[in-house]
Structure 1
Amino acid sequence: MAIQSTSSLKRIFFQRHIAVPIEHGSWVFLLGPILVGLVVSEGLTSNQGWVILAALAGFFFRQPLTILVKVMSGRRPSKERLPALFWMGVYGLIGLIAILGMLSRGLGFLVVLALPALPVLFWHLWLVSRREERRKPIVEIAGSGVLGLAAPAVYWAGIGHLNLNGWLLWLLLWLQAIGSILYAYLRLSQREWQSVPPLQTRLSAARLPLAVCGGSIAGVGLLALSGWFSPLVTAAYLIQFAEAVWGALKPAIGVKPVLIGMRQLMISSLFMISFALLWRAAG
């Protein structure tokens, strides 16, 4: 009887779609900046460990909270309310412990970086309650900007103080994230094409991601030439731009969304690794 009771509790509380974020693409927009912050600051310290724990707790907290909103709006069965509250409690407790750890290390100045997440979170939850959260690139772009704050937070925790480089890291990573999101939406829209259109039509459909990815190279290059950081960093932006050009010429007609997502995940991961190594090599 006890074994059956334990098994029943596991089935109730340990449901993956409630406990773990299901948007695979969003992972790279958090883990990538964390990696960059670690590499640029040249190592992992206990201070950075508290910051990373807080960031992960906040990232995971959104998933059960979203499920709870879906339950309250009638989109999910009421039986998921209790496990959602359970995981909110778990992640909330972990986040509180992480924040206390940050405060004990004199990192309270980094806690304020969580504030921009609140309006974006409320916006997302409002859309969820109205069944309108899907295919909203502007929300995803705002969310990637919030997640990207993990880069300066981890970097500043590593060096022990604020500086301009942290904000540069955030801005540079967000530029790539914007291009990545717009490109992913281009690929998803191409799925519905019945045949390969003329070149002019393909380029017209891709003009926004091409402009953003190409403009990122130009903008980052100008900043580098102005002495803000090494020109080597600009090379990392060629990865997403080359992918956008390839995707514009080779439409994803009939390609499954999961394959589109996995390819873009690999491209974004390659960018993050290249960016971190190039910045570190130039430093």
Structure 2
Amino acid sequence: MSNRADRTPNIWRKQYALPAEHGSWIWWLGPLFIGLAAGGHPDLDAVLLFLAVLFAFLLRQPSTIIVKAISGRRPKADLVPALFWIIGYGLIAGLAVWALIASGHPQVVLLAIPGVPVFAWHLWLVSRRAERGQMGIELVGAGVLALAAPAGYWVAGGMSERVPWILWLLTWLQTAASIVFVYLRLDQRKLEATPLPRDRWRQGGRTLIYHAFNLVASLGLAILGWAPWLVPVAFTLMLADALEGVTHPPVGAKPAAIGFRQLGASALFMIVMTLGYRLKV
């Protein structure tokens, strides 16, 4: 009897409810807060939007577990707790979306549409045991999560037709560059010794191109008056961080240390961008 009880899954275990990738949280939190700051007047609807995006984001973990259980990668016993969390998250997200529509923000719901095929793509990769190391879907998924920026802008009372899409583009560009950078750092950690300077620059070329492009694009927007001047400052900081990472490979570092370092850089970007749009400087 006790052995059977031991095999019964505990629905409250965090593996059923929370994603293991801690760094992915900033992919939607950053755009959301930047969008709210740019909108200028966040209120209770901002809380509803936060809840809708949060619980829609959390749906990924139990959904992934269900696909793994069906495809034989996890025990069938995991189906029940995963389904429990899917229903719970879905109900809360659905109620938050309904409240947003009732408050006069139906356009926010449309932003969720691109996420459906991307989510289906992810689950298909999971079913084929091919979800790891897929930079392509991560870059596309970052673009979907960056839609939290225009959503936040609209909910916070923003009226411009141009600004929400500039916010989306800027936050997507930054997340894409950070993803490429993290992949570089994870490759660097596997090296047996610190490479020669010319090899470091060669290996980090793609990362530096992404960050340099972002800086040039943001600088152009600031010159045109379409973005605050703190926006190119934020991208300058990210380029400086990438330069430091390329020239100082984390040979032998733990993946968690690399992840937390990038999380700190992304948080700094979010703070500077938020200040720029909030203070209009």
Structures share a fold, TM > 0.5?
A: yes
2:133 is paired with a residue whose SS is coil
For residues 251 and 183 of structure 2, the distance between their equivalents in structure 1, rounded to whole angstroms, comes to 13
Give the alignment of 1:99-118 within 5 angstroms: 99-118=97-116
Deviation at 1:52, TM superposition (A): 1.6
The answer to whether structure 1 residue 166 and structure 2 residue 164 are counterparts is yes
State, as a whole percentage, how many aligned pairs show the same letter.
41
For residues 30 and 224 of structure 2, the distance between their equivalents in structure 1, rounded to whole angstroms, comes to 26
Task: State the match for 1:91 in structure 2.
Answer: 89
Deviation at 1:53, TM superposition (A): 1.4
For residues 227 and 238 of structure 1, the distance between their equivalents in structure 2, rounded to whole angstroms, comes to 18
Task: State the match for 2:17 in structure 1.
Answer: 19
1:191 to 172, 177, 189: 189
For residues 95 and 186 of structure 2, the distance between their equivalents in structure 1, rounded to whole angstroms, comes to 40
Q: Which amino acid aligns with 1:244?
A: A
Rate the CA distance shift 1:96–1:161 in 2: closer, same or farther, 3 A: farther
For residues 277 and 119 of structure 1, the distance between their equivalents in structure 2, rounded to whole angstroms, comes to 34
For residues 212 and 139 of structure 1, the distance between their equivalents in structure 2, rounded to whole angstroms, comes to 17
Q: Runs of 5+ in structure 1 lacking a partner?
A: none
Deviation at 1:161, TM superposition (A): 4.9
For residues 264 and 64 of structure 1, the distance between their equivalents in structure 2, rounded to whole angstroms, comes to 26
The answer to whether structure 1 residue 58 and structure 2 residue 56 are counterparts is yes
1:229 to 224, 227, 230: 227
1:92 is paired with a residue whose SS is helix
2:192 is paired with a residue whose SS is coil
Q: Which amino acid aligns with 1:245?
A: L
For residues 122 and 15 of structure 2, the distance between their equivalents in structure 1, rounded to whole angstroms, comes to 17
Give a deviation string over 1:64-108, Cα, whole Å, max 9, x none. 001100001111111110000000000111111112101211111
Give a deviation string over 1:130-175, Cα, whole Å, max 9, x none. 1111111111111111111111101101106562111111111111
Q: Which amino acid aligns with 2:145?
A: L
For residues 239 and 158 of structure 2, the distance between their equivalents in structure 1, rounded to whole angstroms, comes to 35
Q: Runs of 5+ in structure 2 lacking a partner?
A: none
Task: State the match for 1:45 in structure 2.
Answer: 43
What is the alpha-carbon root mean square deviation over aligned residues? 1.9
TM-score by length of 2: 0.94
1:13 is paired with a residue whose SS is coil
For residues 160 and 229 of structure 2, the distance between their equivalents in structure 1, rounded to whole angstroms, comes to 23
Task: State the match for 2:280 in structure 1.
Answer: 282
Deviation at 1:11, TM superposition (A): 5.8
For residues 107 and 232 of structure 1, the distance between their equivalents in structure 2, rounded to whole angstroms, comes to 29
The answer to whether structure 1 residue 150 and structure 2 residue 148 are counterparts is yes
Task: State the match for 2:71 in structure 1.
Answer: 73
The answer to whether structure 1 residue 124 and structure 2 residue 119 are counterparts is no
Give a deviation string over 1:232-263, Cα, whole Å, max 9, x none. 32100012111111111111110000100000
Deviation at 1:230, TM superposition (A): 2.6
For residues 164 and 36 of structure 1, the distance between their equivalents in structure 2, rounded to whole angstroms, comes to 15
In the alignment of these two chains, the number of paired residues is 278
Task: State the match for 1:175 in structure 2.
Answer: 173
1:266 to 264, 267, 271: 264
Asked if the contact 2:9–2:77 (Cα under 8 Å) also holds between the matched residues in 1, the reply is no
TM-score by length of 1: 0.93
Bigger shift: 155-164 or 12-21? 155-164
For residues 92 and 232 of structure 1, the distance between their equivalents in structure 2, rounded to whole angstroms, comes to 37
Task: State the match for 2:135 in structure 1.
Answer: 137
Name the structure with the higher helix share.
1
